[in-house]
Amino acid sequence: MIRIEGIAAFVATVEHGSISGAARQLRLSKSVVSERLAELERSLGSALLHRTTRKLGLTEDGAAFLPRAQRITRDIAEAAADMAERRGTLSGPLRIAAPVTFGHMHLGPALYPFLKAHPELQLTLDLDDRRIDVASSGHDAIIRQGVIDDNRLIVWKLAKSRRILVASSAYLAEHGTPQTIEDLRHHRGIFYTNRGVADWRFRTIDGPVAIQATQALGVNNGDMIRDAVAAGLGIAMLPAFIAGPAIKAGKLVGLPLDLAPDEEWIYMAHSQGRNPSAKLRALREHLEQAFGEPPYWDSPSPTPVA
């Protein structure tokens, strides 16, 4: 008979890269974790791990068994969390992915009081500027800023995300200040690489129009884009939650043109076909309240709401 304890030991060993790491997570001795792994392999009639003095590696059978083992442990954890939620308690694991800059500037300060209010939650927050496929990544949800264009996702809008064209005073003194969106074609742009050089989109009565400039720099991080603009390398279109403090500090200058940038959102999304847990719904509601409408970073003196 295959025991759940053995599956949990196997998943923890693989995810932590060692029996010692698994033992720490499971709060067991290394000998108990080893015994559970050995019992699981006997039950399956196959070796799942290559054991050497330096590292552990998956066998072919282990690699085939791992996704199912992870799904089993996740389902059990979610079932336990659902039972706790029926008793009015938010508990258990929750895994979210979010962009780096938004994460440390705004998401983190909003999350801390939520986690303090629900100490039985076990949140894993992955900050990564790469586009993550929530359907296959194992995350409960992703938080992103931008255009919502994936129809495989269920999307919850958390806050509007106003975008601002910005430059430094030194760049404008050298290259001139654009007055219309067509003027932008003759300027140097700093672009977020995950969105490309056609990222400058503006609202018209006929729909959004994209304007391209010469790329001076492409980078996949908002902090570096802001700093490159402040260094005078070119113009960028940044969300207000990044650009606002730099404009207020005099490091960047906003460029009001003849058309406004296209509307975007901060949103949370999860896969279709999975009912969102109570803890995910509670987190959504908390973030909506924390960010506000309009969001606090669009106010004259941004102050986060706990």
pLDDT in tens, 254-271: 998 888 888 889 999 887
Q: Is the pLDDT of residue 303 over 70?
A: no
CATH of the domain at 224: 3.40.190.10
Identify whether residues 243 and 284 lie together within a single domain.
Answer: no
Q: Beta-carbon neighbour count of residue 145 at 10 Å? A: 21
- Span 139-145, average pLDDT: 89
Let me know the angle formed at the C-alpha of 38 by 35 and 43, rounded to the nearest 5 degrees: 125
Q: Is residue 167 very low, low, confident or very high in pLDDT (cuts 50, 70, 90)?
A: very high
- Span 70-91, average pLDDT: 74
Q: Mean pLDDT over all residues of the chain?
A: 86
Check: CB of residue 202 under 8 Å from CB of residue 261: yes
Q: Is the pLDDT of residue 119 over 70?
A: yes
CATH of the domain at 48: 1.10.10.10
- Among 32, 54, 85, where does a domain finish? 85
Identify whether residues 215 and 272 lie together within a single domain.
Answer: no
Identify whether residues 152 and 280 lie together within a single domain.
Answer: yes
Give me the pLDDT at residue 305, please: 39
Q: Is residue 105 very low, low, confident or very high in pLDDT (cuts 50, 70, 90)?
A: very high
Give me the pLDDT at residue 84, please: 64
Identify whether residues 247 and 271 lie together within a single domain.
Answer: no
Q: Is residue 172 very low, low, confident or very high in pLDDT (cuts 50, 70, 90)?
A: very high
Identify whether residues 240 and 278 lie together within a single domain.
Answer: no
Identify whether residues 199 and 152 lie together within a single domain.
Answer: no
Identify whether residues 153 and 18 lie together within a single domain.
Answer: no
Identify whether residues 61 and 107 lie together within a single domain.
Answer: no
Identify whether residues 139 and 271 lie together within a single domain.
Answer: yes
- Among 30, 65, 85, where does a domain finish? 85
- Span 34-58, average pLDDT: 84
- Among 50, 68, 85, where does a domain finish? 85
Identify whether residues 100 and 132 lie together within a single domain.
Answer: yes
- Alpha-carbon span 74 to 80, nearest angstrom: 10
Give me the pLDDT at residue 302, please: 39
Total of domains in the chain: 3
Indicate whether 284 belongs to any domain. yes
Say what the pTM is.
Answer: 0.69
Q: Is the pLDDT of residue 45 over 50?
A: yes
Q: Is the pLDDT of residue 85 over 80?
A: no
Q: Is the pLDDT of residue 86 over 80?
A: no
Identify whether residues 136 and 275 lie together within a single domain.
Answer: yes
Identify the top-confidence range among 2-11, 13-22, 148-157, 294-303.
Answer: 2-11
Indicate whether 218 belongs to any domain. yes
Give me the pLDDT at residue 3, please: 87
Percent of the chain with pLDDT over 90: 39
Give me the pLDDT at residue 212, please: 87
Indicate whether 200 belongs to any domain. yes
Indicate whether 303 belongs to any domain. no
Query: Could you tell me which residue, 224 or 54, shows the higher pLDDT?
Result: 224
Identify whether residues 175 and 240 lie together within a single domain.
Answer: yes
- Span 232-240, average pLDDT: 94
Indicate whether 304 belongs to any domain. no
Q: Is residue 78 very low, low, confident or very high in pLDDT (cuts 50, 70, 90)?
A: confident
Both structure tokens of 289:
């309240």
Q: Which domain holds residue 45?
A: 4-85
Give me the pLDDT at residue 306, please: 41
Q: Is residue 301 very low, low, confident or very high in pLDDT (cuts 50, 70, 90)?
A: very low
Give me the pLDDT at residue 304, please: 41
- Alpha-carbon span 167 to 233, nearest angstrom: 9
Q: Is the pLDDT of residue 138 over 90?
A: no
Q: Is residue 135 very low, low, confident or very high in pLDDT (cuts 50, 70, 90)?
A: low
Give me the pLDDT at residue 258, please: 85
